[in-house]
Amino acid sequence: METGNQTRVSYFILLGFSQDSEHQPILFCLFLSMYLITVLGNMLIILAITSDSHLHTPMYFFLSNLSLADICFTSTTIPKMLVNIQTQSKAITYAGCITQMCFFMVFGVMDTFLLTMMAYDRFVAICHPLHYTLIMNPRLCGLLVLMSFFISVTYSLTQSLLTLRLSFCTNREISHFYCELAQALTLACSDTLINHILIYMITGLLGIVPFSGILFSYIQIVSSILRIPSADGKYKAFSTCGSHLSTVSLFYGTGLGVYLSSDAPSWRGMIASVMYTMVTPMLNPFIYSLRNRDIKRALQKVLGKMFHVL
């Protein structure tokens, strides 16, 4: 790259969605509604789990952490996008962009680990029911969550620090509604080889290893379920995995869509990103509350208390 085009940037421009001012109020109302539903839905899941002692089990412990991660995940991108739409400004500071990128990676990676832990929990519960309480003890569950958070933060800080060393060209336009790492790297004038190697190697590792863990868990689960003699027993065993399977399918399906659309036209990539960053966290509370009688019962108690106070 020519060094003459290098500059110390103080801000980036997030091109976002429609450039038409007539569409901005519609987009603002749509994304604000999605954000409020996501936060409210996941907060209710956390309240339901913490307030009901019957739900103080490993599966619901991981679910409450997943809900918290989803709230944080959407909060890294949507509020800034809403502010930009409302103020008719597309700018984000350099520090703000790096910070958004950092937290986006932290909670995105956290989601993958938490889904893997939930799959492992179902594997132990179905394949080793007699040893479930011994294996899935509170200490192990806490350590697993802390370890996943540590790995997520380490990866995110590494990527962010490597991005900080780059020099950027005069072109500051990011064809997205948030500071996406791969998009930001295309604006760099300095060598991004190390950054791209880290993206493909570590990101691939953080994607493949958790997914392999989920796949292995469900292969073992299906094998155990098929050995159950009664149809009713098979249904009960499989029903405990239904919500998690739906969430995993949605998460990895939309994540794959983002990856495959990375070289597609910007609008197609942004639609895939909306599904990944907004729709998936928004639907998770509905998936678990509609398919899980324990959560549904706990939510009814929480809502009943809230309406009683009002």
CB distance 45 to 67 below 8 Å: yes
pLDDT at 2 over 50: no
Per-residue confidence band for 18, with pLDDT thresholds at 50, 70 and 90: low
Task: Give the per-residue pLDDT at 266.
Answer: 65
pLDDT at 265 over 90: no
Residues 24-50 have a mean pLDDT of 92
Beta bridge partners of 92: 12
Mean pLDDT for the chain overall: 86
Task: Give the per-residue pLDDT at 3.
Answer: 45
What percent of the chain clears pLDDT 70, i.e. is strictly above it?
92
Q: What is the CA radius of gyration of the chain?
A: 21
Task: Give the per-residue pLDDT at 256.
Answer: 79
Residues 117-144 have a mean pLDDT of 93
| Confidence (pTM) | 0.90
Per-residue confidence band for 1, with pLDDT thresholds at 50, 70 and 90: very low
Beta-carbon contacts of 130 under 8 Å, excluding residues fewer than 6 positions away, are none
Beta-carbon contacts of 86 under 8 Å, excluding residues fewer than 6 positions away, are 28
What percent of the chain clears pLDDT 90, i.e. is strictly above it?
45
Residues 277-296 have a mean pLDDT of 86
Least confident of 30-39, 111-120, 195-204, 223-232: 195-204
Per-residue confidence band for 308, with pLDDT thresholds at 50, 70 and 90: low
pLDDT digits (tens, 9 = 90+) for 58-97: 999 999 999 999 999 999 999 999 998 888 888 899 999 9
Task: Give the per-residue pLDDT at 98.
Answer: 93
Give how far Cα 91 sits from Cα of 56, 126, 155, 173, Å: 44, 51, 26, 9
Residues 150-173 have a mean pLDDT of 88
Burial class (CB in 10 A: 0-12, 13-18, 19+), 227: exposed
Residues 135-143 have a mean pLDDT of 95
Residues 32-45 have a mean pLDDT of 95
Residues 227-241 have a mean pLDDT of 81
3-class secondary structure per residue, the chain: CCHHHEECCCEEEECCCCCCCCCHHHHHHHHHHHHHHHHHHHHHHHHHHHHCHHHCCHHHHHHHHHHHHHHHHHHCCHHHHHHHHHHCCCEEEHHHHHHHHHHHHHHHHHHHHHHHHHHHHHHHHHHCHHHHHHHCCHHHHHHHHHHHHHHHHHHHHHHHHHHHCCCEECCCEECCCCCCHHHHHCCECCCCHHHHHHHHHHHHHHHHHHHHHHHHHHHHHHHHHHCCCCHHHHHHHHHCCHHHHHHHHHHHHHHHHHHHCCCCCHHHHHHHHHHHHHHHHHHHHHHHHHHCHHHHHHHHHHHHHHHHHC
**Number of C-beta neighbours around residue 142 at 10 A:** 11
Burial class (CB in 10 A: 0-12, 13-18, 19+), 2: exposed
Task: Give the per-residue pLDDT at 109.
Answer: 93
